[in-house]
Structure 1
Amino acid sequence: MLRSTFSKSLIAILMLGATHITFAQTVDEVIDKHIKAMGGADKLAKLQSVKIAAEMEVMNMKVPISTIIVQDKGFRSETTVQGMTVVQAINGNTGWTINPMAGQTTATALPEESVKAMSTETDLTGLYNYKQKGYTLTLDGEEDLAGAKVYKVSMALKNGTKRTNYISKDTFYILKMIVATTINGQEVTSENTQSDFRQVDGVTYPFTSEVTTSAMPGAAMVLKISSLEVNPKIDPTIFEMPKQ
């Protein structure tokens, strides 16, 4: 009788273990579902460029921002504050800026460290094909995020940037990202909470983002997209640093 009871208990434990193994999510299973939620691999594979118009609310100001990105090649943003337009651009492995708010009225090369930190901005497809991009991902379990059940997925990029993704167990959208990178010799951490997800030409984008950063303690920035174009034709010369 004792041996029979022990055997039944062992079988029950093994069955529980097998059930856990069967239903546990791997990081690739979570990412596959996320990719499907973002529009699917076919759509993301064809994503070559975007053009975004948005408005950022920060420190009681509304700041218009236009952004143009070409996959793995170029990034350019123009931000207008108090009548002055700040330009930041990445062109392959180089970058430049025009910042009249800092007295810079002509293009100035960005430091290598800043270019390295901003290089991820040219990646439009996020976690799609992450292995081929050289990203390392780990699934760190499940958490509760403001009432939403999420998977916590840590990510290490080739440029040294570390990012934590909080992926909804319901929609498989990324609801929040925490990014740690090094700028000017100091580690800067930013948090980006995303919402108002919409599809444009079959690809899903968050149209509202609330961002906080250790570089501006106490200042929350809310970015709202007003228009977004998928795969517009882009003149590559806009990423080139203007000649003096």
Structure 2
Amino acid sequence: MNKFLAFICFFFLGNAFVSAQTADEIIDKHIAALGGKDKLTSIKSVVMEGKVSSQGMEFPMTTTIVNNKGFRLDFAVMGMNAWIIMRPDSGWTFMPFQGQTKPEPIPMDQIKEGIDQLDLSGNLLDYKSKGHTVEYLGLDDVEGTECHKLKVTSKSGKLTYYLIDPTSYYIVKTVSKQKFGGKEFDAETKFSNYKEVEGGLVFPYTVESMNGPVDMTKITINSDIQETLFKP
């Protein structure tokens, strides 16, 4: 009986250890592929300039992020300038092409959904100290390539699946559980066209979501950003 119990304990606990170890090994290779832990943790701000293609239209956009402090997306539609601002405890939108005449607050539940975007080092780096959990789910097909699949539950409870290429160890797709209008749905995002930027860091220059593809033209690291940019 004792041997049987020992076997059962080893089967469950041992498998859990192997799963965690495998997840950590994949994450370590992913972090190294992006430039390494030291470089990732040195990022204080990022400015990404590019263009969005949606519903047959193409318009410019600029995303500005200060690590764990603020996120701002500026874009122009039909000649009208619009923006989205998000901070850890608040956020606003201004979209005149939708009839808005003044900034409107973002509901707190949506702030919690998007708060991870403020972490420029990403959810995988030092995930344990950030309060996130990661589970390795084996391999899953992404356009003909068997990719490593990680299940990540953030500290806030948000669930995201990361698909990581087995050769480059870049993230090629994420699938996150999101809520809108009281309903939950899967939001899929694809990442490609990875390039090295200043300081030896690697970023995806093409991001595709249900809103359409975004093609980056310029990514700037650690420029001086005024925090007033994150006020309505």
TM-score of the two chains, using structure 2 as the length reference: 0.87
Aligned to 1:211: 209
**Partner Cα distance (1:183, 1:72) in 2:** 24
Which of the numbers 179, 182, 187 marks the counterpart of 1:185? Answer: 182
Match of 2:10 in 1: none
In structure 2, give the amino acid aligned to 1:149: E
**Aligned AA for 2:109?**
E
| Matched pairs, number | 213
How is 1:31-46 mapped onto 2 (pairs within 5 angstroms)?
31-46=27-42
Q: Distance in 2 between matches of 1:170 and 1:110?
A: 39
1:240 corresponds to 2:231: yes
Match for 1:163: what amino acid?
Answer: T
1:91·1:240 contact (CA, 8 Å) conserved in 2? no
Q: Once superposed, what is the RMSD of the aligned Cα atoms?
A: 1.8
Of residues 42, 47, 67 in structure 1, which corresponds to 2:43?
Answer: 47
SS at match of 1:26: helix
CA-CA distance at 1:117 after TM superposition: 1.4
1: CA distance, partners of 2:102 / 2:149: 43
Equivalent position of 1:227 in the other structure: 218
Q: Could you tell me whether the CA contact under 8 Å between 1:192 and 1:209 is conserved in 2?
A: yes
| C-alpha contact (below 8 Å) 1:155/1:162 kept by paired residues | yes
Q: CA deviation at 1:133?
A: 1.5
Give the ranges of 4+ consecutive aligned residues of structure 1 lying more than 6 Å apart after TM superposition: none
For residues 7-156 of structure 1, what are the structure 2 equivalents within 5 Å?
26-126=22-122, 127-156=124-153
Shift of 1:211: 1.1
User: Aligned to 2:157, what secondary structure does the other structure show?
Assistant: coil
- 1:180 deviates by 1.1
Cα distance in 1, alignment partners of residues 95 and 213 from structure 2: 22
> Do the aligned residues in 2 keep the contact of 1:65 with 1:77 (CA within 8 Å)?
yes
Give 1:151 shift.
Answer: 0.4
Residue segments in structure 1 that go unaligned for 5+ positions in a row = 1-20, 213-219
Distance in structure 1 (CA, Å) of the matches to 2:94 and 2:129: 34
Change in CA separation of 1:207 and 1:121 when aligned onto 2, cut-off 3 Å = same
Give 1:228 deviation, angstroms.
0.5
* Aligned equivalents of 2:150, 2:213: Cα separation in 1: 24
TM-score using structure 1 length = 0.82
Larger Rg: 1
